[in-house]
Structure 1
């Protein structure tokens, strides 16, 4: 199949396929006499594997490791388990940071009494006067 057909079958963009090829995650396809890339079913399977990993927010470096592990499927699952445990811990930290952000936003929203001609918006005032250490816990403070 050609790259456009592969992209359609995998429900992704042609540029994504080219990127994964450049990154070495997807093997380079054979070239037809016409110069077109010719992708085999193994390319679609690998692309679906990569996309499933990415849908789980697994970083490309770890996807690369999982591909290496998949090439020796009868090895111990210990390395795969460890990789996934690390990813689960990162997700838990992100969830905690987002929950903290939600609490901050809800508290901030409660400050609103409605702006009038006599009184400025309390939320905007809070943004203007907040020190940098009150920045979002999931994003570093801007310089």
Structure 2
């Protein structure tokens, strides 16, 4: 069966722009065209779109999705390369979790600076946020 782009997008639960983006990124093969020059997506396209969307829901980067799609086309090979892609994603997620823990700790520290309902002009949280030098131009140059 053939689907126009809007219908294909609806069937997989995304926007038309998303389908175009994946096509332009080389993750989705170019579809056939109708006599009126409409893109015509097949069930195979929809299956691949679902695969891509599931990977994106796991925050897998586009380059890794591209690799997984290539590996998917070689089903006789073992899973070592697929496992490596997923293991790398797990490492990235662990790093994000650690970063979020640090962010949470910073916010808790900031929040602990104001325990009273004082006026805004004496709020220690606002004073701390305004007095922070960690985002000065000089500090940014040193960090890089």
- Per the normalisation by structure 1, the TM-score is 0.88
Corresponding residue for 2:14? 12
Corresponding residue for 1:41? 43
Structure 2: distance between partners of 1:142 and 1:35: 50
Corresponding residue for 1:105? 107
SS of alignment partner, residue 75 of structure 1: coil
* Backbone CA RMSD of aligned residues: 1.7
Corresponding residue for 2:117? 114
2:92 to 90, 93, 98: 90
**Could you say which structure has the higher helix fraction?**
2
Q: Which runs of 4+ in 1 moved over 3 A?
A: none
**1:16 to partner: Cα distance:** 0.7
How many residues of Structure 1 are paired with residues of Structure 2 in the alignment?
135
Structure 2: distance between partners of 1:41 and 1:58: 23
Structure 1: distance between partners of 2:4 and 2:140: 45
**For structure 1, which runs of at least 5 residues remain unmatched after alignment?**
134-140
Change (3 A) 1:32 1:57: same
